[in-house]
Amino acid sequence: MKDELETGGVSRRTLMVSLGGGAAVTTAMTLVPGLSLAGEAEVQAIIDQMAEGTPVDGGVELDLPEIAENGNTVPVTVTVDAPMTADSYVKTVMVMADGNPQAEVARFNFTPACGTASASTRMRLAGTQTIIAAAQMNDGSTMVGRKLVKVTIGGCGG
């Protein structure tokens, strides 16, 4: 067939597919930024933006395993010790991880009708890091809780 190059015995079709695939991979790699992890400064900036005043440590309980054997699925429960009345209630709870590519892991919104400010989910952790939960009250005050989780096998490419 005249479809093959004279040198090497590779068909034009195979050559064009290979070149097209290589170009697509090269283009995709230039669009993906380098993997950088969120840090304490990024988490603090999120908390500062959320808070209307100085955040208070305490009042937010994080229930997580101290050691997570696999970072792909780490269970977390956040409970805020606050009344859930029309006058005083938890408005938003944000869960953050200072060692993941993106600091914000989950956000939960509450109303007085919820009765309690508690939520559970599972998250992916890149490695050993501190999990931070910030709870914003309806008056703008913010409470913060922290807990260190040791991850033996990372879930975000680690």
Residue 127: Cβ within 10 Å count: 20
What does each C-alpha distance from 90 to 57, 75, 103, 120 come to in angstroms? 15, 22, 21, 16
Q: Is 140 left (phi over 0), alpha (psi -120 to 50) or beta?
A: left
Residue 80: Cβ within 10 Å count: 24
User: For each successive 10 residues of the chain (158 residues), what is the average pLDDT?
Assistant: 54 62 44 62 83 89 94 95 94 92 92 95 92 94 94 70
pTM, entire model: 0.72
- Residues 51-77 have pLDDT tens digits of 888 899 999 999 999 999 888 999 999
In this structure, what token pair is assigned to residue 124? 């992916």
